[in-house]
Amino acid sequence: MRKTSRKTQDVRQYSRLVVDGVKQTPSRAMLRAVGFTDADFTRPQVGIASTWANVTPCNMHIGDLAREAAAGADAAGGKSVIFNTITVSDGISMGSPGMRYSLVSREVIADSIETVVGAEGFDALVAIGGCDKNMPGCVMAIARLNRPAVFVYGGTICPGAHHRDIVSVFEAVGARAAGRIGDAELAEVERTAIPGAGSCGGMYTANTMASAIEALGLSLPNSSAQEAVGESKRADCRRAGAAVMKLAEAGIRPSDILTRKAFENAISVVIALGGSTNAVLHLLAMAHAARVRLRLDDFTRIGRRVPVLADLRPSGRYLMSELIAIGGIQPLMKRLLDAGLLHGDCLTVTGRTLGENLATVGDYPADQDIVRSFADPVKKDSHLVILYGNLAPEGAVAKITGKEGLRFTGRARVFDGEEAATAAILAGRVKAGDVVVIRHEGPRGGPGMREMLSPTGAIMGRGLGDKVALITDGRFSGGSHGFVVGHVSPEAAVGGPIGLLRNGDLLTIDAVTRRIEAALSAAELRRRRAAWRPKRPYATAGVLHKYAHTVSSASQGAITDA
């Protein structure tokens, strides 16, 4: 550990206020009931934030991992306290009204971890996340609290039979609707695609965000590139418990790690991996929590010089477990560093800089073709394309690898909500040349900005992936691929241009000029806006209602504490 300028500060800065002195005798009495001994009151308290739940395979094993992290902290001289926060499953709620709660859960997770750590006076924190929103939620809490902290990824799932994963199931639904497979094959895919614990197996949102957080420096090296079940992940958790004690002793806080340069490193790694569009939304939110200025245009600036190197699903061929087998993301990061595409001077939770962590990392095996060279990239620049135009004055996010083409012009097929669009696609009413428009799915209008994996999976399953485009003020699962544009801002619910479109309007998406336009004059848009009326809100009470009234635009990360 390098930084020692805060060595003179008390490593029990927060817990001392809770357990020391005559006045806090009642606090100690309560803590004795949960297992504290006399010696424990003299040790730094380490909160272990567990996202364990039996509602999803992504998190079903994290209770065991939390106990490993606690053991690591205790062995290093701390007193661990495990507590839980929530998780919801995107894969299970996808395509249903329940998906409205997915992005909301990111805020609930961040708020709940901040609440427990702040209330209990923990001196340090280890947070363990699995499903998509766990990870940014944990990091947002870590950034707000600014106490020594380490994030641990719960790990990726192993491949299912015949190299299947969850996206295989969604696309099989489309293939069944098109008559390309029968009921027996669909049932067989359903039964074999998800073999056990761990997060979805491609470079979808979970693996994308885990990789981004490792690149930020908040995880130990290789934490993002381990399977969920096995000794390597258990050891990672024990090391995290020990590492957070060293951070506390050295006075290293998240604000020392979460710098603008660190966020630029995360963006570069996400691009090189061909990661999820959700990374844009979550990195903006995480940067806001860390008080780092990050904007949509930073993704464009960095994306002009960073290529896509990894041939990973959904648009590529390989799964995360196969990347793990050849060395994970550390050799990729070393390549980026050597090419001048990462900031090597960024501090990490090891107490060393990113460059120092990567100094001894070797390259991938010569015979692998999962990660390509700079001379032969999957795409020479970023697949995450920020678009502007009269349809998205505040911006939109496209995921374009080039396999779909770089430009699409077609007539709008407008749907108010995901369900209507999915039904039309499965029924064969969406044809080649259409631009499917799904609106009233934004952060406020959804509310909750549902992911459109059901309609994009149906499009791919029906064989229309290179023949149909889809735009939405909602967002996409990391498993979505095809010519898709999300995060269209302003959203329909606040009178954004996407809410003014009609069937048959001519739309153009151009990834080269970075424009998304409707062939409508400014005067026509003004006429339509004058006639526009807001749609009745989906929720009038409860968490969705509260979220809709506090959430910002997707172009700002859909944050609720602006």
Q: How far is CA 440 from the centre of its chain?
A: 22
Q: Which residues pair with 399 in a beta bridge?
A: 384, 484
- Whether the CB-CB separation of 467 and 443 falls below 8 Å is answered with no
178 three-class SS: coil
Q: Which residues contact 54 (CB under 8 A, 6 or more apart)?
A: 60
- Whether the CB-CB separation of 516 and 497 falls below 8 Å is answered with no
Q: What is the DSSP string of 370-390?
A: SB--TTS-SBSS-SEEEEEET
- 477 noted as active-site residue: yes
Helices 205-216, 134-145: crossing angle, 10 deg rounding: 30
- Whether the CB-CB separation of 46 and 73 falls below 8 Å is answered with yes
Residue type, position 107, single letter: E
Task: Give the position of tokens 């900005």.
Answer: 449
DSSP H stretches of helix in 436-481: 453-461
- What whole-number distance in Å separates Cα of residue 382 and Cα of residue 412? 27
Question: Quick one: tokens of 405?
Answer: 């083409």
Report the helix count and the strand count for the chain, using DSSP H and E: 21, 12
384 three-class SS: strand
Instruction: Say which of 276, 477, 552, 555 is annotated catalytic.
Output: 477
Question: Quick one: tokens of 508?
Answer: 């153009």
Question: Quick one: tokens of 96?
Answer: 């249903």
- Please state whether beta strands 434-439 and 149-153 pair in parallel, antiparallel, or not at all (unpaired): unpaired
- What whole-number distance in Å separates Cα of residue 559 and Cα of residue 198? 27
263 three-class SS: helix
Task: Give the position of tokens 């290179």.
Answer: 466
- Whether the CB-CB separation of 400 and 434 falls below 8 Å is answered with no
In 3D space, the residue among 183, 203, 200 whose CA is nearest the CA of residue 191 turns out to be 183
Residue type, position 164, single letter: R
Active site residues: 477
